[in-house]
Structure 1
Amino acid sequence: MITIAGNLANDPELRFTPNGAAVASFVIACTERRRDQNTGEWSDGATSYHRCTAWRQTAENVDASLRKGDRVLVVGTLRQSSWADKQSGETRYGWDVQVDEVAVSIKFHAARSHRPERSGAADDTSATTPGGGTVVPAHQS
């Protein structure tokens, strides 16, 4: 398992497989922050980009909830893929995070979770909805 914290570098792209399974793809940008011991000032270091793929209900929730620039935490499995370069024929390698969980980070802003109503359920605010809900920044409520 791997955990990544960063900002979405793009809006999630939602598509569906021929069997109807939802798939959301997005990229997380992670920038190192360093503090200069002599001056005490912070500066940005290198930025790394991580491709992420979410499936099914998680994919639909990602698409409905997140936009470019949102700070998120992602937990998933790191997978390597390979392919033949179309130009040179050489084997290329890439990494992708197969997403298990996504959460909005509240490090830099407040957020509030919104659970959709369950169909056929009584008005029970203590019930949890597996895989449901969207996260709305508190300033948008």
Structure 2
Amino acid sequence: MSINRVIISGNLTRDPELRSTAGGMPVLGFGVAVNDRRKNQQTGEWEDYPNFIDCTMFGARAEALSRYLNKGTKVSIEGKLRWSQWEREGQKRSKIEVIVDELEFMSSRGDSSSYGGGMGGGYSAPAPAAPAYAPAPAPVVDASSSVYDEDIPF
């Protein structure tokens, strides 16, 4: 068994690029900068060393997010690593990228430097308008029917 999951948090290094496959599926490409913190052996000071990670997202969510992402946006992404290889002008090239499954905004709109609490909701754009109908009332729990600790499977 093998596991291929990655979670990173950083800032977009460029505006995302929205393309489409030959079959019409939206493909969003963007880069994320993630810093490693290391101690400089000569000065004794801690320094940030950036890693630049290519990210790709597919489908309708990619198309929707392309309107809200831009260079500098702080995001947290979860996905899997994919290695690809190709040949260009007689030279073999390869890269590792993250195929994005989940994306969460970590800074509010217009604030690309904030480390504040995230704008929850994963792929969220603006929240949908409240429905025009009233939600169903919560079910009433009968106090005489209780759950015992031994009934809980964990």
Is 1:75 paired with 2:78?
yes
Q: Give how far 1:42 is off.
A: 5.1
The alpha-carbon deviation at position 26 of structure 1 amounts to 0.2
Structure 1 82/23 Cα, relative in aligned 2: closer, same or farther at 3 Å?
same
Secondary structure of the corresponding residue to residue 65 of structure 2: helix
Q: Equivalent pairs: percent with the same residue?
A: 36
User: Once the 2 structures are TM-superposed, how far is the Cα of residue 91 of structure 1 from its aligned partner?
Assistant: 2.1
Give the partner amino acid of 1:8.
Answer: L
**Counterpart of 2:59 in structure 1: which amino acid?**
R
Post-superposition offset of 1:68: 0.5
Corresponding residue for residue 115 of structure 2: 108
- Which of the pair has the greater relative contact order for Cα pairs under 8 Å at 6+ separation? 1
Alignment-derived partner of residue 90 in structure 1: 91
- Tell me the TM-score normalized by structure 2: 0.64
Residue in 2 aligned with 1:2?
A: 6
Displaced runs of 4 or more, over 4 A: 39-42, 110-113
Q: Report how many aligned residue pairs link the two structures.
A: 118
What SS does structure 1 have at the residue aligned with 2:66?
helix
SS in 2 for 1:101: strand
Asked if residue 49 in structure 1 is aligned to residue 52 in structure 2, the reply is yes
List runs of 5+ in structure 2 lacking aligned partners.
Answer: 108-113, 121-125, 136-154
Match of 2:18 among 14, 18, 31: 14
Larger radius of gyration between Structure 1 and Structure 2: 2
**CA drift at 1:110:** 5.1
Selected match of 1:28 from 32, 47, 54: 32
Structure with the higher fraction of residues in strand conformation = 1
1:122 and 2:94 aligned: no
Q: What root-mean-square deviation, in Å, do the aligned CA atoms of Structure 1 and Structure 2 show?
A: 2.8
